[in-house]
Amino acid sequence: ETGVTQSPTHLIKTRGQQVTLRCSSQSGHNTVSWYQQALGQGPQFIFQYYREEENGRGNFPPRFSGLQFPNYSSELNVNALELDDSALYLCASSAGGSRTGELFFGEGSRLTVL
Amino acid sequence: AQSVTQLDSQVPVFEEAPVELRCNYSSSVSVYLFWYVQYPNQGLQLLLKYLSGSTLVKGINGFEAEFNKSQTSFHLRKPSVHISDTAEYFCAVKGPAAGNKLTFGGGTRVLVKP
């Protein structure tokens, strides 16, 4: 069984640039969610994708957007990067309709914005 | 809306001593409760969860937690810690209709000393 994998693991961008982060969900999982974890803080929910559609969003501006593909992998796109976007971005997958909240997390993509 | 407060940002503890990590939450609806662990440079791993039923929940690696509805708490305990328990621990809550939207506390860093 393949777990959740994310790429890249680390990247550095400058203010105003755009970034795309990628996530492959765990085998058999059709729901993907993204979280932002700033240094020293708990993760914050960005959004969730189910069957290729966004069906839940946290308090993040529209410059945070995403996609889910037919194979359930996902991308997180952030436009017009700001210094405060520096964080660990975590992808989590789960089986569709899971009410128990048992998410399986990847190891994250650490973004540094200079 | 839910919120989670982890009362201790850091907890130093000696090896083989017991540890308790405190978590309080607020919510206007019934919630599901979780504890996750994050080892350095890794994603989050589920330790245990409370959905319903017995208020004492046992998880992996010898951890357990007790749900107290009247005090809106979900404290995590381990009777004897190991060096390998050094990590960051996050308490999280989810409403029953919240999909994959977990609300996390700020985390408690446990440092186990020999």
Q: In this structure, what token pair is assigned to residue A17?
A: 């640039």
Contact (Cβ atoms closer than 8 angstroms) between residue B114 and residue B16: no
Q: What is the rounded CA–CA span in Å between residue B93 and residue B3?
A: 8
Please measure the distance between the N-terminal and C-terminal CA atoms of chain A and give it in whole angstroms.
37
Q: Is A100 on the interface with B (CB under 8 A)?
A: yes
> Scanning every residue of chain B, which has its alpha carbon at the shortest distance from the alpha carbon of A94?
B100
Q: Is A109 on the interface with B (CB under 8 A)?
A: no
Reported as a single tens digit per residue, the pLDDT across A27-61 is 888 899 999 999 989 999 999 998 899 988 999 99
Name the percent of chain A lying above pLDDT 70.
93
For residue B17, the distance in angstroms to the closest alpha carbon of chain A comes to: 25
Q: Is A48 on the interface with B (CB under 8 A)?
A: yes
Over residues B15-19, mean pLDDT: 98
Q: What is the rounded CA–CA span in Å between residue A106 and residue B12?
A: 27
Give the CA distances from residue B89 to residues A9, A70, B69, in Å, rounded to whole numbers and listed in that order: 22, 34, 21
Reported as a single tens digit per residue, the pLDDT across B41-60 is 888 999 999 988 889 999 99
> Scanning every residue of chain B, which has its alpha carbon at the shortest distance from the alpha carbon of A3?
B43
Over residues B11-16, mean pLDDT: 97
Please give the pLDDT value at position A98.
Answer: 57
Phi, psi of A84 (to 5 degrees): -70, -5
Reported as a single tens digit per residue, the pLDDT across A15-34 is 999 999 999 998 888 899 99
